[in-house]
Homo-oligomer: A and B are copies of this chain.
Amino acid sequence: MPRLTPLVASLPATVPFVGPEAQERARGAPFRARLGANESVFGPSPRAIEAMARAAAETWKYPDPENHDLRHALAAHHGVAPEAIMVGEGIDGLLGYSARLFIAPGDAVVTSDGAYPTFNYHVAGFGGVLHKVPYHEDREDPGALVARARETGARLIYFANPDNPMGTWHDAADVSRMIAAVPDDALLILDEAYIECAPAGTVPPFDTSDRRTLRFRTFSKAYGMAGARVGYVIGHPETIAAYDRIRNHFGMTRIAQAGALAALEDQDWLAEVISRVAEARDRIAGIGRANGLVPLPSATNFVTLDCGADGALARRTLGELAARGIFVRMPFVAPQDRCVRISCGTSADLDLLEVSLPAALAAARS
């Protein structure tokens, strides 16, 4: 075998997530409800679908490597300069680029134990050393994250608000306090993938003169375009410019650029989705309670249900739901792994959940 670099040779052959399609191939049948990846079953804006269908015929052209139109529209939407925004292949892609920009082998990185595994994957992929802080009452703990960053001299601090996999959140004042407390030589990776689903008062103002914070957003969640791979990062223009040194300049698809632009322009659809998400959250919480599970408060498009025991029970519940055609996931790490995490579904999806959960739980408990 050709020699891998020593760093790559040291990496395990793992993947952050197995897709539901792989499970479907293994079980020999498609899932009846796809509620495991926090996708938006309500779909993208009809205008975005139309824009993507229209762009399909133009797909012989390379994408604009500057993502000019989308970047400018996002800048206007958020009230920041276009130079403060970099568009990339989903937050996943941008996290990979961020690890490459800032992490040399041995550099310390702080995150929460049980937070987004793809971030950890990218950090490990560039030789970073992860320091993990426990959740506090099922929420990420900003004070503990910052304190650990000071102790370890961390380059990056990962903090998701709202959080995945728990769905919990901190209000804007808390986040602003955390931003202010980031050590001078560290960089806060503030993952706001779910922020559109959060209640008013969760979003701190953008301050792109702050060199210590990068904020990550996506079209994969409330905008319903997970399959189009469109994320963006907002930060100081000099930091943002650094991505141009390393990124795959032609990494975005032309169709995704057109779709995201149309989706952004249809804020009415976004509002409609957010209202359907809120309804679905209430219904999932109700279904959980009716089965003796405790729903955690959620500012996302999913609800995490506390099964009241340990990871083994939750894992069995997951398997029993899958056997009944329902794809869901669960937190990876104890004690959060006592829960299952259920994405907001359509009425039909949640009807199936309502019918299936009692039997799944009974089987898991027996």
**In chain B, what residue has the closest Cβ to A89?**
B251
Please state if B90 and A244 are interface contacts (CB–CB under 8 Å). Answer: no
Chain B residues, Cβ within 8 Å of A228: 59, 253-255
Verify if A164 is at the interface (C-beta below 8 Å from B).
Answer: no
Chain B residues, Cβ within 8 Å of A89: 89, 248, 251
**In chain B, what residue has the closest Cβ to A16?**
B249
Please state if A248 and B96 are interface contacts (CB–CB under 8 Å). Answer: yes
Chain B residues, Cβ within 8 Å of A104: 5-7
Report the Cα distance A77→B316, complex, angstroms. 40
Chain B residues, Cβ within 8 Å of A41: 60
Please state if B249 and A13 are interface contacts (CB–CB under 8 Å). Answer: no
Chain B residues, Cβ within 8 Å of A59: 43-44, 49, 52, 224-228, 259
A276 smallest CB distance to B (angstroms): 12
Verify if A196 is at the interface (C-beta below 8 Å from B).
Answer: no
Report the Cα distance A6→B49, complex, angstroms. 43
Chain A 148-166 per-residue mask, 1 if CB under 8 angstroms from chain B, else 0? 0000000100000000000
Chain B residues, Cβ within 8 Å of A101: 4-5, 8
A residues apposed to B, CB below 8 Å = 1-8, 11-19, 21-22, 25, 34, 37, 39-44, 49, 52-53, 55-66, 68, 89-90, 92-93, 96, 100-104, 107, 125, 155, 185-187, 211-212, 220, 224-229, 236, 238-239, 241-242, 244-246, 248-256, 259
